[in-house]
């Protein structure tokens, strides 16, 4: 009896102790483990991936986790390209993607389905980047490929929104009238690759990717073409294509801009602005007066460049530019010199006979030499036979073009700032970039973008060496 009591007491003490421990302990749920960083993986396909002698137009792709599709109609590239009426039906549910083809399957043809970045897992949004499914209606899979690069001819840059097209029809009008047989996108470096192509000849073109027509029906579209067809085989050579706009698109004026234009037209006063920078005149260029209307009357003798004593200075010239809206003062400026520009009331008139409201005087001083930096650029591997022209660019503005006749370029004065540099290969030596023309089969002139910027500091000798 005594032993039983002791056992019961021990059990009671144990239960009390466990209750105390459970009341004091912090209950921590098990950790969720490391983050899933793996994209969805194909585990089954009907028909099988890389299957041959396929006749079914219904495809089911099964992955190892739940998936979602992001913009499949825009992301999926089917090769060969289906007709506009044969756009397939694409759906997904849980771990499956289903494709129902509308076009009839062609005999002895390899089909590929590149989903781009459309297939993603549900939990972490991991992308099955460029997931591609392939099958053939014939006895074998085509493994021929063709790759290359597309650059913007005028800037030497990449536009990854462009696509490359292949046409079986080698007639010049095929890209104007027909949908391409194959097409593919560019990557971020402007590179493209076609895989699973049949052997044979193809015409090669480039168009904007957003253009669902896939046709060259507008000369303002970005476009490129290859001189002659490419012969696709096991060892297809690579290409570089240069895209261009044959005609510039007319700029659309917003309602706000239109209101400003109407207001300027209705203003009967003849007015102008100048391009002085805080009252300072650039030593490297003339002084420009821009008028709000085209001038029909211009008397250069009624513009006078004078000193601070209002005495006329010889050597200055005043010209009206080709647009009839700008008067340009040219003079061999010296540093840190004050000037007065005297403008008579009747120096200019517009088509309505309006003059300036009153005579005017503009006071300014020229910049100092120390406001500029000197530059020296040494080129290596520069092919002078291609008539290179050095271009300085800031933002989208072409600041200056300089024909290069030797491997060194020097300038004592150059405006401080950061410049992008390009080399234009000026085929016709007219000093500017010329676009291409598909009808006459003229390729555009090409520009090489120098992969470094030039930072010019004021009052500093800026020297660089550039290997091309």
Q: Where are the domains of the chain?
A: 42-136, 144-243, 255-370, 372-467
CATH architecture of 144-243: Sandwich (2.60)
In the numeric block, the tokens 């044979």 are attached to 200
In the numeric block, the tokens 């957003």 are attached to 210
Q: How many other C-beta atoms can be found within 10 angstroms of the C-beta atom of residue 464?
A: 14
Contact (CB, 8 A) for 227 and 441: yes
pLDDT at 14: 54
CATH architecture of 42-136: Sandwich (2.60)
Burial of 241 (0-12, 13-18, 19+ CB in 10 A): buried
CATH architecture of 255-370: Sandwich (2.60)
In the numeric block, the tokens 């003229």 are attached to 442
361 pairs with which residues across the strands?
A: 342
pLDDT at 156: 97
pLDDT at 435: 97
pLDDT at 34: 65
> Pick from 439, 435, 459, 455: which is nearest to 447 by CA?
435
Helix (H) or strand (E) holding 319, with range, is strand 317-320
Contact (CB, 8 A) for 177 and 216: no
Contact (CB, 8 A) for 361 and 341: yes
Angstrom distance (rounded) from CA 467 to CA 258? 47
pLDDT at 339: 98
pLDDT at 4: 45
CATH fold, domain 372-467, is Immunoglobulin-like (2.60.40)
Q: What is the pLDDT along the chain (468 residues), one digit of tens a residue?
A: 444 444 544 545 555 445 454 444 333 444 555 677 899 999 999 999 999 999 999 999 999 999 999 998 889 999 999 987 778 999 999 999 999 999 999 999 999 999 999 999 999 999 999 999 999 999 999 999 999 999 999 999 999 999 999 999 999 999 999 999 999 999 999 999 999 999 999 999 999 998 888 999 999 999 999 999 999 998 999 999 999 999 986 555 455 544 445 555 556 899 999 999 999 999 999 999 999 999 999 999 999 999 999 999 999 999 999 999 999 999 999 999 999 999 999 999 999 999 999 999 999 999 999 999 999 999 999 999 999 999 999 998 999 999 999 999 999 999 999 999 999 999 999 999 999 999 999 999 999 999 999 999 999 999 999 998
Angstrom distance (rounded) from CA 417 to CA 199? 52
Q: Answer yes or no: same fold for 144-243 and 372-467.
A: yes
pLDDT at 216: 95
């Amino acid at each position: 009896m005594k032993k039983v009591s002791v056992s019961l007491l021990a059990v009671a003490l144990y239960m009390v102790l466990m209750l105390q421990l459970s009341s004091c302990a912090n209950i921590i749920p098990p950790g969720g483990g490391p983050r899933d960083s793996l994209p969805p993986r194909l585990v089954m396909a009907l028909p099988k991936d890389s299957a041959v002698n396929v006749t079914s137009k219904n495809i089911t792709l099964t992955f190892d986790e739940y998936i979602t599709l992001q913009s499949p109609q825009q992301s999926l590239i089917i090769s060969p390209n289906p007709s506009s009426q044969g756009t397939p039906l694409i759906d997904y549910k849980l771990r499956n993607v289903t494709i129902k083809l509308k076009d009839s399957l062609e005999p002895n043809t390899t089909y590929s389905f590149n989903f781009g970045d459309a297939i993603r897992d549900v939990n972490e949004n991991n992308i099955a980047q460029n997931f591609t499914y392939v099958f053939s209606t014939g006895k074998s899979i085509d493994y021929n490929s063709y790759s290359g690069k597309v650059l913007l001819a005028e800037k030497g840059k990449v536009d990854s929104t462009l696509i490359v097209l292949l046409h079986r029809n080698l007639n010049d009008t095929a890209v104007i009238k027909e949908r391409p047989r194959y097409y593919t996108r560019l990557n971020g470096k402007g590179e493209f690759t076609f895989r699973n192509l049949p052997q044979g000849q193809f015409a090669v073109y480039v168009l904007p990717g957003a253009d669902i027509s896939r046709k060259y029906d507008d000369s303002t579209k970005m476009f490129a073409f290859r001189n002659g067809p490419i012969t696709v085989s096991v060892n297809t050579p690579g290409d570089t294509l240069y895209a261009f706009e044959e005609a510039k698109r007319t700029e659309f004026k917003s309602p706000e801009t239109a209101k400003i234009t109407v207001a300027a037209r209705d203003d009967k006063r003849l007015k102008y602005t100048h391009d002085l920078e805080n009252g300072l005149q650039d030593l490297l260029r003339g002084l420009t007066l821009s008028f709000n209307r085209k001038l029909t009357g211009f008397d250069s003798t009624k513009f006078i460049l004078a000193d601070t004593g209002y005495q006329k200075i010889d050597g200055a010239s005043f010209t009206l530019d080709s647009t009839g809206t700008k008067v340009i003062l040219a003079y061999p400026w010296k540093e840190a010199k004050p000037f007065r520009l005297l403008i008579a009331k009747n120096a200019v008139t517009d088509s309505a006979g309006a003059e300036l409201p009153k005579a005017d005087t503009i006071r300014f001083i020229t910049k100092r030499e120390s406001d500029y930096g000197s530059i020296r650029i040494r080129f290596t591997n520069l092919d002078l036979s291609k008539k290179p022209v050095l271009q300085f660019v800031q933002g989208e503005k072409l600041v200056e073009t300089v024909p290069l006749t030797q491997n060194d370029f020097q300038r004592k004065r150059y405006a401080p700032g950061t410049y992008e540099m390009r080399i234009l290969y000026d085929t016709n030596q007219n000093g500017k970039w010329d676009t291409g023309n598909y009808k006459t089969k003229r390729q555009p002139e090409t520009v090489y973008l120098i992969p470094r910027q030039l930072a010019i500091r004021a009052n500093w000798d800026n020297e660089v060496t550039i290997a091309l």
